[in-house]
Amino acid sequence: MVHPSPVPPGPAAGRRHASSRRPGRRRTFAALAASLTGLALSAALGATPVQAAGNAPATAPVVRIHEGLIRGVSGENGTSYLGIPYAKPPVGPLRWKPPAPPEGWRGVRDATKPGNPCMQSKVQTPWGDLAGPGTPSEDCLYLNVHVPAKRSLRPRPVMVWIHGGGFTIGSGAFYDGGVLAQRGDVIVVTLNYRLGAFGFLAHAGLSAESPTGSSGNYGLLDQQAALRWVQRNIAAFGGNPRNVTIFGESAGGGSVCQNLISPLAKGLFHRAIAQSGCAFPAAPKQTAEAAGENFAAAVGCFDVACLRAKPAEQLLAAAGTPAFDRITWGPSVDGHVVREQVMEAFRAGRLPRVPVIQGTTRDEARLNVATAYDLAGRVLTAEEYPQAVRRAFPSTADQILARYRLSDYGTPAEALAAIYTDAQFACPSYASTALLARHTRAYAYEFSDPHAMDYLNLPVSFPLGAPHGSEIRYIFGGVTGTPAQQALADRMLTYWTRFAHTGVPNGKGSPVWKKFPLVQDLAPGAIKPTLTFAKDHKCDLWAQITG
């Protein structure tokens, strides 16, 4: 049976987690810190994987889709159809090619277990392997469909989740959409897409063989292929192909916005929700191809044929070496899938006029700072704080230190995290939403539960607050904390699914969410609109610094 909760079971906020007393716990987190950087942490925060089901019961429903018959698995929240191929396996000559349509099959295909996650390094965390069930493989282009148990006389809205993980880790099956589907009366689709070098390698040889003269955005093309699959097949599950919402967090939020501006995604969705990731810049084509050629040389290749002959494990290992772990495996401006930067497209209004929700968490970077310091066995001191700022912002450190005084924060770590939060998340999100609001209906939020991570009881010397990714379990229906936290989770799930139904997040029983420039503060017992977001996050400073 599909696991009913999309988050790891844990004690209520404030109770000590038994595993925190185990010897070696700090070493576990140090290993995690060494393995993950920046945006990749997001996948560690949101959900436990869908559990692989056993043999489907005889009563499990069978659905006919374009490719053939499939049998799902039923549980208390409805029926899930897992591991459905939406493209041919991108192996052999199809490595670094756009996804090809899947082949059909005879008989009834078993859809009770998720497909394998895409190639990635296996990272152990307190929640288990971020890849979810299965063994990472190049044969990974699968999706999962979650259908509510209750009947509906009308086609349901469809919500397609694009997972985060820095474009290098994660899987769709790590997130169970069953509760979200049941409570929100929507169809939820989660998907895999190619990651790392397999999904985002740009190379002059690959561009030369492509009829479009482009390479590098295979992961985005996978997402678009999954959305085309939804258009072909979702009606068979009771979904409405004319009412599709794409939503995602971190790299998934960045993917949402890349699809917003990609001409190839036009008409494939009708609403968009970008969580903590919209405004990340894409690499210019020349930069991405140069990095790809350096990567190829490192594995002993100077042409595409050699690259395609290399074992997947060798490519994965090379991508994680010190020489290449700073390469941003992610979207690039290739001139075909992505033609310009997100902010440029938003400014010019080159995007579909679909309603958009975008937002961040109040303390985005606190877990990143905790991972770099406390969880690695050291505490950031007041004396080290200016040095840390100067290393990160060498040319503007004096301006920044003047505005982020230690006396304004509880600890040096909180001050440093505020800088990263405002520079990398809060202010870019606010600026990009302001551009969106010129052209379409836009809503903004800030998730600000100050105890969102307390249930994990991590060994950290400062409060984690509401860090990157901590809102995911509130949306997927997995909160078991205080009554106020559960009420906030209910409101957030309702906002997200009402938006999927109508393009407006408001519904009966929830505080009114007004359009941008108001920002909806999502806090336990205190949901309210605010006009002080830009001031609170010192966005005037970051606009001056970034120009």
Instruction: Give the three-class secondary structure for 249.
Output: strand
How many CB atoms are closer than 10 A to CB 75? 18
pLDDT at 26 over 70: no
pLDDT at 396 over 50: yes
Distance CA 288, CA 257 (A): 19
Taken as a whole, the chain contains a residue count of 547
User: What secondary structure letter does DSSP report for 456?
Assistant: G
Distance CA 404, CA 193 (A): 39
| Catalytic residue positions, numbered | 250, 364, 468
pLDDT of residue 506: 96
The mean per-residue pLDDT over the stretch 399-404 comes to 98
241-267 pLDDT, tens digit each: 999 999 999 999 999 999 999 999 999
Q: Rounded to two decimals, what is the model's pTM?
A: 0.91
Element (H, E) at 69: strand 68-71
Place of tokens 């659905």: 63
How far CA 1 is from CA of 54, 78, 115, 187, 476, in Å, comes to 7, 10, 16, 18, 18
185-223 pLDDT, tens digit each: 999 999 999 999 999 999 999 999 999 999 999 999 999
Residue ranges of domains in the chain, CATH in brackets: 18-379+426-507 (3.40.50.1820)
127 band by pLDDT with thresholds 50, 70 and 90: low
Nearest to 504 by CA among 270, 253, 267: 270
Comparison of pLDDT for 323 and 289, the residue scoring more: 289
The mean per-residue pLDDT over the stretch 312-335 comes to 86
pLDDT of residue 392: 96
CA atoms within 13 A on the CB side of 43: 33
Contacts of 34 (CB under 8 A, 6+ apart): none
